[in-house]
Amino acid sequence: MRPQWKTIFVSGGAGYIGSHCIVELLQQDFEVIAVDNFINSVDENGDAISLKRVRQITGKDVKFYQCDLLDTEKLDYIFSQHSIDCVIHFAAMKAVGESMKVPLLYYQNNLIGAINLLKVMKKYKCQQLIFSSSCTVYGNPKFLPITEDHPVGDEITNVYGKTKHFIEEMLKDVSTAEEEWNIICLRYFNPVGAHPSGLIGEDPTKPFTNLMPFISQVASGKKNVLTIFGGDYETVDGTGVRDYIHIMDLASGHIAALRKLEAEHLKWKVYNLGTGRGISVLELVKAFEEASEKKIPYTIEARREGDIYAMYANTDLARKELNWKAQYTLKQMCEDFWRWQTMNPNGYKPNDQTSSNSS
């Protein structure tokens, strides 16, 4: 039997998915070393506010370093201080539109960051890795629901998506070259929602283009109307379809992947994390109206350039091999997002009264 893992290194741990995943890791009694270059939401002691909230939720500690993955010296120092069993690599820039405007910044941050991490992992002989990939690597779906063997890399229309595809390929190559690597790439569909406590969630102060934060802003009165991109797709009601997954389900998917790597040497393997269910924009709007008890005015406008009409996962592989299945309902996704938004209208910003009281 392989030894049980204890210490997990989490890059991008102060971010949306990282912070929720750390809650799950701590609840499973792992020790967590988190790094993030977060410059906006740290307190006067350089501690990430999201991770203070994580400590509040779990009653357990997270060791946090403010560190950029491009800072190889600091990264090396952190690895030299801890005996790390596995790495979960979330850190990346993820704004699709921004990635088209500043491609070099995205290639530098996402690709070089990943390379630096792999190098330090190899140096310290910690070659177990879970990588945050995305359904964006599938490009325009050739069939639905999407299985892991769907072609990847074709028709990825944005730089962000290409960085995810290139990193997956790089990971495949290192695992072919060196037997020691044991890697799972998790292709997330559309993560939404927040921790049911309302204490952590996606920082609304960051530039976003995703649907649920927009809906929520309309519900809270910050925006007057939701623009729906396209009403003439061949879908249930003409609007775009996606596979929305509750962030806590996504987090438990990482624990399942970790247990798999702990038990087996896979070299390189990919799993979809989604619910397997396609939801249209209008269905999401209706569910959010019910959860928030607010009316969400919308207009249906032209299709968004490069948009995909429908995308949802086949999740059989994760169910069979990781023994994992999404549990949360669409209603819970909306209720939990709404709770987070109403408790923290300015996210983790220090000028937000809720933040300073509860952190």
- Scored b (16 or more CB within 10 A) or e, 153-170 reads eeebebbbbbbbbbbbee
211 binds, among ligand WQD, ligand NAD, none (CB under 5 to 8 A by kind): ligand WQD
Q: Which one-letter DSSP state was computed for residue 318?
A: I
Residue 191 in the binding site for ligand NAD (CB under 6 A): yes
Q: Of 27-56, which residues contact ligand NAD (CB under 6 A)?
A: 35-38
Exactly one of 106, 138, 160, 328 is catalytic; which is it? 160
CB of 195 to ligand NAD, least distance (A): 13
The CA R_g of the chain, rounded to the nearest whole Å, is 20
CB of 77 to ligand NAD, least distance (A): 14
What is each CA distance from 351 to 152, 310, 348, 354, in whole angstroms?
43, 39, 9, 9
Residue 9 in the binding site for ligand NAD (CB under 6 A): no
CA distance 141 to 153: 11
Residue 274 in the binding site for ligand NAD (CB under 6 A): no
CB of 95 to ligand NAD, least distance (A): 8
CA distance 335 to 193: 8
Of 128, 121, 112, 96, give the one whose Cα is nearest residue 170: 112
β strands within the chain, DSSP E: 7-11, 31-36, 63-66, 86-89, 128-134, 182-188, 190-192, 226-229, 241-242, 244-246, 268-273, 279-280, 298-301
CA 160-165-166 angle, to 5 degrees, is 95
Token duo for residue 85: 């069993």
Q: Which range touches ligand NAD (CB under 6 A), out of 7-15, 121-129, 211-219, 230-238?
A: 7-15
18 binds, among ligand WQD, ligand NAD, none (CB under 5 to 8 A by kind): ligand NAD
φ, ψ at 208 (rounded to 5°): -135, 160
* Member of 7, 43, 58, 68 binding ligand NAD (CB under 6 A): 68
CA distance 117 to 89: 9
CA distance 208 to 96: 9
CB of 311 to ligand NAD, least distance (A): 12
Q: 8 vs 92, which CB is nearer to ligand WQD?
A: 92
* Member of 8, 9, 10, 16 binding ligand NAD (CB under 6 A): 16
Token duo for residue 171: 């990971």
**In the annotation, is 233 catalytic?**
no
Contact 139, 156 (CB under 8 A): yes
**Interacting residues of 180 by C-beta distance below 8 A, sequence separation 6+:** 122, 125, 127
Residues in contact with ligand WQD by CB under 6 A are 94, 96, 134, 136, 160-161, 190, 209-211, 214, 227-229, 240, 242, 281, 304, 307
Residue 298 in the binding site for ligand NAD (CB under 6 A): no
354 binds, among ligand WQD, ligand NAD, none (CB under 5 to 8 A by kind): none
* Member of 113, 139, 145, 161 binding ligand NAD (CB under 6 A): 113
Residue 214 in the binding site for ligand NAD (CB under 6 A): no
Q: 189 vs 298, which CB is nearer to ligand NAD?
A: 189
CB of 300 to ligand WQD, least distance (A): 8
227 binds, among ligand WQD, ligand NAD, none (CB under 5 to 8 A by kind): ligand WQD
H-run or E-run covering 164:
helix 159-177
113 binds, among ligand WQD, ligand NAD, none (CB under 5 to 8 A by kind): ligand NAD
Residues that are catalytic: 160
> Which residues of the shown chain bind ligand NAD in the complex (CB under 6 A)?
12, 14-18, 35-38, 68-70, 90-94, 109, 113, 132, 134, 188, 191
